[in-house]
């Protein structure tokens, strides 16, 4: 007998490809069923609608990304190493999973997903809590400038995210992998706590 988890993954993989090729509105349950090879009964047993599939896909991809980022952060003790690891992981994960990265870029504009904010907030709560604890530890140690987590994430991720957005849509010529040293250095310089300049 086929593993139900395996069937679920096949359906989500098929949905990802359909959403990227045809757009969310242009994708039908029939298209997902045909791409996945699932029977009508099995697909509706697992998901009651296209909206449910899109939300499950978003949460699965987000969890995969967040867990990988936290693992990178946990294996490094220093503030500088941690900041650089976050940027490096963001770029390398996106390059290794371009379909998933493209989906994350567009997913929050899909009404079915934006309408599932409570579930998204629940999933983000644990990740952001661990990031906040890590940040505050290094702020208190004097390595990172005092700032909110929102500001920290904006400073660290925005340049890399913008380059990825342009690259994934074919508009950027710069290879994000080649840009890792520059972007990690910029992220650290943006948040590191510098000694105050002495007055002459």
Domain that includes residue 43, residue range: 1-48
Statement to judge: residues 143 and 90 lie in one domain: yes
Q: For residue range 43-102, what is the model confidence (pLDDT) as tens digits?
A: 999 999 999 999 999 999 999 999 999 999 988 889 999 999 999 999 999 999 999 999
CA–CA distances in Å: residue 34 to residues 8, 39, 84: 14, 8, 42
Kindly report the CATH number assigned to the domain that includes residue 24.
Answer: 1.10.10.60
Q: For residue range 186-197, what is the model confidence (pLDDT) as tens digits?
A: 999 999 998 765
CA–CA distances in Å: residue 184 to residues 42, 57, 58, 123, 148: 45, 29, 27, 26, 20
- Backbone phi, then psi, for 144, in 5-degree steps? -125, 140
How many structural domains comprise the chain?
2
Q: For residue range 110-142, what is the model confidence (pLDDT) as tens digits?
A: 887 876 777 788 888 899 999 999 999 999 999
Least confident among 4-8, 148-152, 169-173 = 4-8
Statement to judge: residues 79 and 139 lie in one domain: yes
Statement to judge: residues 140 and 169 lie in one domain: yes
Kindly report the CATH number assigned to the domain that includes residue 140.
Answer: 1.10.357.10
Between CA 174 and CA 143 the distance in angstroms is 31
């Amino acid at each position: 007998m086929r593993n139900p988890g395996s069937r679920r993954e096949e359906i989500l993989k098929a949905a990802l490809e359909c959403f990227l090729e045809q757009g969310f509105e242009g994708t039908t349950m029939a298209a997902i069923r045909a791409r996945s090879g699932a029977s009508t009964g099995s697909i509706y047993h697992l998901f009651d609608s296209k909206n449910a599939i899109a939300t499950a896909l978003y949460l699965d991809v987000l969890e995969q990304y967040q867990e990988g980022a936290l693992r990178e952060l946990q294996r490094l003790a220093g503030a500088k190493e941690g900041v650089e690891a976050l940027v490096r992981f963001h770029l390398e994960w996106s390059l290794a999973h371009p379909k998933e990265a493209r989906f994350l870029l567009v997913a929050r504009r899909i009404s079915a997903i934006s309408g599932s904010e409570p579930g998204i907030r629940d999933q983000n709560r644990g990740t952001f809590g661990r990031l906040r604890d890590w940040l505050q530890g290094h702020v208190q140690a004097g390595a990172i400038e005092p700032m909110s987590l929102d500001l920290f994430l904006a400073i660290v991720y925005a340049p890399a995210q913008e380059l990825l957005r342009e690259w994934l849509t074919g508009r950027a010529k710069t290879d994000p992998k080649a840009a890792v040293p520059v972007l990690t250095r910029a992220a650290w310089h943006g948040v590191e706590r510098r000694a105050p300049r002495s007055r002459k």
